[in-house]
């Protein structure tokens, strides 16, 4: 009985595995649980301009999978559009999330959850790319059809 219980509980733990994340200075800490809905790279102008980087490694989660554990008051928000509420730490400026209300999903930037096994599956907004990445993954011109885009793919 005890062994069976143990197997059951360890399977449960695997299914709902938790990964911790934080901003650059550690004032804001959080955890993600389970699996994201989709992972990939975004090449759009907005992601590049805000991050000051050539590409954004995204992991999109249901809101209930993301839990703040420290420093909630220390989070700043900027929304240039109602589709993206970009969040960062007010102390270090480190980026944390991008909340997308219209999809009911939160982008947790892959680099802020270092222990999470990031497995990108798609490139989005590749028509705007400044950094071609020849990794064999599909390159969407904008975004997948099921997320409101054209669903058209492009050459790498
Ligand atoms: Zn910080
Ligand atoms: Zn983007």
| pLDDT tens sequence across 27-61 | 999 999 999 999 999 999 999 999 999 999 999 99
Radius of gyration of the chain (CA): 17
Confirm whether pTM is higher than 0.85: yes
Surrounding ion ligand 2 within 5 Å at CB are 42, 44, 47
Position 67 confidence tier, pLDDT thresholds 50, 70, 90: very high
Position 16 confidence tier, pLDDT thresholds 50, 70, 90: confident
If one counts every other C-beta atom within 10 angstroms of the C-beta of residue 45, the result is 10
87 alpha carbon – ligand 1 mean position (Å): 11
pLDDT for position 15? 60
Phi first, then psi: what are they for 116, rounded to 5°?
-75, 130
31 alpha carbon – ligand 1 mean position (Å): 15
């Amino acid at each position: 009985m005890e062994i069976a219980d143990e197997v059951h509980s360890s399977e449960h733990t695997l299914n709902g595995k938790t990964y911790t994340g934080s901003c650059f200075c550690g004032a804001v800490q959080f955890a993600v649980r389970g699996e994201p809905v989709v992972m990939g790279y975004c090449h759009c102008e907005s992601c590049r301009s805000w991050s000051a980087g050539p590409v954004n490694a995204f992991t999109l989660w249901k809101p209930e999978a993301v839990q703040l554990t420290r420093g909630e008051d220390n989070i700043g928000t900027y929304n240039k559009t109602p589709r993206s509420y970009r969040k960062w730490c007010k102390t270090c400026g480190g980026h944390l999330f991008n909340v997308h209300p219209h999809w009911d999903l939160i982008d947790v930037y892959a680099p802020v959850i270092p222990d999470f096994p990031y497995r990108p599956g798609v490139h989005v907004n590749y028509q705007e790319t400044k950094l071609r990445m020849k990794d064999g993954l599909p390159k969407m011109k904008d975004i997948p059809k099921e997320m409101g885009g054209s669903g058209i793919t492009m050459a790498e």
